[in-house]
Structure 1
């Protein structure tokens, strides 16, 4: 079992009620397949783009949406360039359902939306060196089904906060390539973000296909067809 930076074994943890971290959930081959898929999804039309917030600022993270196009703060069927959003890939649906099952197991009945989980949208975030994401809540969906987050490439410091404010208490987690984080139930609407990435920590096997960090966030929108 791979260890952390101190050499200790990395094991399943539950950093908050309803939040589950499964280290090394994807093996190297599965990670490489996902990186290749992300490169295809990033191509125009409806490809990778920068997001301008209503305040006028531009996010340092670039993203591509699948199934539904996310914008601050809602969803649409048309991407930033006017093209129809790319379809939600069956590959991500299968992965996300397995992720929820692996995270909650026999306790899925106690997590809203975990039983019968039907994801239909995803956001692929690319973090170039120096990018980060401020604390925010995922509140644009119409259901409270769990959020599935898969990390690829460089490590990052992920901050999982509380459901009330952007201030403490929070827990900082080091997410590495192949790690799975699922948050639902009491943590579904927790504030969360990426404090920083750790450049140069990615497996060299990803180069030159990936520089920086990729995060795939899969959700059930509740928006219907």
Structure 2
């Protein structure tokens, strides 16, 4: 709870199929994940800067697990980096993501496409240094419509949840803090979304993290 807040934040469902669970990860689990992200970020197949086909360079840095994401597809090697084989998808992340989907949808898990049999096999770990952001985009390189699980660590951010048709309004801005869980699936699985800005200095100093880490876990649908 931040200073000035009388009550803790409650669970939100800002759109059909979208669930925000504040503080889902405890402090110890957050520290463990930050330590693991540091290991995943090491070369080979480590964290790299992504260049888009337009020539633009993303302000976040990314490391992939299970499958290597590049604009706009998946591969088994870091073909837009050092060419090394992608790091394995950690079973721990799979268990965490399945628990997240169960937490988000509860008894309604069978009503969300791909949620009941969720079998995640890919993760993107994005580091947002101060000043970094991510434009509105869709996660549409997967071959199934299973939900996306997003975990936040470090600095808070303003996350923009758009609509499924255009990058323009309507949209909803959500504040995501360290430890928060966001799951989106069902009718909003292919909604535009992005990060408008991070809020520097909002991370718990005990994390030892500068900026924000976002772990996004997905099911690729690939063989």
Give the alignment's TM-score, normalised by structure 1.
0.96
**What is the CA deviation profile of residues 97-125 of structure 1, one whole-angstrom value per residue up to 9, with x for unaligned ones?**
00000000100111000011100000000
Q: Which residue does the alignment assign to 2:102?
A: 101
SS in 2 for 1:107: helix
Q: CA deviation at 1:5?
A: 5.8
**Aligned residue runs from structure 1 range 163-174, under 5 A:** 163-174=164-175
- Change in Cα spacing, 1:37 to 1:6, as seen in structure 2 (3 Å) is same
Matched residues in 2 for 1:51 and 1:82: separation?
Answer: 14
User: Is residue 55 of structure 1 aligned with residue 59 of structure 2?
Assistant: no
Give, in angstroms, the shift of residue 7 of structure 1. Answer: 3.5
Tell me what 2:23 maps to: 24
CA distance in 1, matches of 2:20, 2:89: 24
Q: Which residue of 2 aligns with 1:127?
A: 128
Q: What RMSD in Å do the two structures reach over aligned CA positions?
A: 1.0
Counterpart of 1:87? 88
Deviation digits for residues 47-89 of structure 1, max 9, x if unmatched? 0000000000100000000000000000000012110000000
Contact 1:25 1:178 in 2 (8 A): yes
> Who is 1:66 aligned against?
65
Q: Which residue of structure 2 aligns with residue 223 of structure 1?
A: 222
**Pair 112,5 (structure 1): closer, same or farther in 2 beyond 3 Å:** farther
* Cα deviation, residue 31, structure 1: 0.2
Deviation, 1:3, is: 5.4
Structure 2's unaligned 5+ residue stretches are none
Structure 1 position 206, deviation (Å): 1.2
Determine helix, strand or coil for the equivalent of 1:15.
strand
What CA distance in whole angstroms lies between the structure 2 residues aligned with 1:188 and 1:199? 29
Structure 2 partner of 1:143: 144
Q: TM-score, normalised by structure 2?
A: 0.97
